[in-house]
Amino acid sequence: MNTWSWGYVGDILPDLLKGLWITVQATLYGSLVSFALGLVWALALRSPSRRLTWPVSIVVEFIRNTPLLVQLFFLFFVLPGWGLTFPPLATGVIGLGLHYSTFTAEVYRAGIDGVPAGQWEAATALSLPRRRTWSAVILPQAFRRVVPVLGNYVIAMFKDTPMLAAITVGDMLFQANSISAATFDYMEPITVVGVLFIVISYPTSLLLRALERRLVR
């Protein structure tokens, strides 16, 4: 039976922290992609043109209802056969961002629908251009409502980053598996990875709760 070794933890910690940095990068960049693309989906789905809403709704539902891991495999292993090749980390960022954009689109939709009808009427009464109505009146109020929910999706994405190890992204889990395969000792690497996830995700969730209370006030 293996016994815990703090010396071994000290030896492997630098490699795990390198993996943590890659995990954080994948989460941050993936979040930016999901926020931007989710807004595009949400606005497209509100278009009066069915020629636009139908294709977008089909794409969104397809992505939302297929597993993230399958999408990552498709991007990493299938697309190169069609001449589209990306580095592992870029593939992971695209996969995470694309997958979660279908969920953030629904968050944006709820936030936009939550803006009081009087705001739309006031913008119309002032003869504001449509673009100005969205940028200065509707979206600022919608964003205020959805920030806490978007933050929860960032945490969920952070916890999903271990899937990127399947496409050779050197995140924490990939580093832990590599170390364990070389030393045949899995207890310390996997445990430290779990602790690092808790150390980051739990305080972040507390900050989001505090932000939510502040926005409500």
Per cent of the chain over pLDDT 90 is 66
Q: Is the pLDDT of residue 59 over 70?
A: yes
Provide the domain count of the chain.
1
- Report if residue 105 sits inside a domain: yes
How many angstroms separate the CA atoms of 76 and 42, rounded?
Answer: 27
pLDDT at 1: 52
**Confidence label for 117 from pLDDT (cuts 50, 70 and 90):** confident
* Residue 24: partners with Cβ closer than 8 Å, 6 or more residues away: 158, 200
pLDDT at 54 over 90: yes
Range(s) of the domain holding residue 201? 6-216
What is the CATH number for 105?
Answer: 1.10.3720.10
SS3 category, 87? coil
Task: Compute the average pLDDT of residues 11-25.
Answer: 95
**Could you give the residue ranges of the DSSP H alpha helices within 114-186?**
117-125, 130-132, 139-160, 172-183
Q: Is residue 1 part of a domain?
A: no
How do residues 68-106 score in pLDDT, each as one tens digit?
999 999 999 999 999 999 999 999 999 999 999 999 999
pTM: 0.89
Question: For the chain, what is the mean pLDDT?
Answer: 91
Could you tell me if residue 162 is inside a domain?
yes
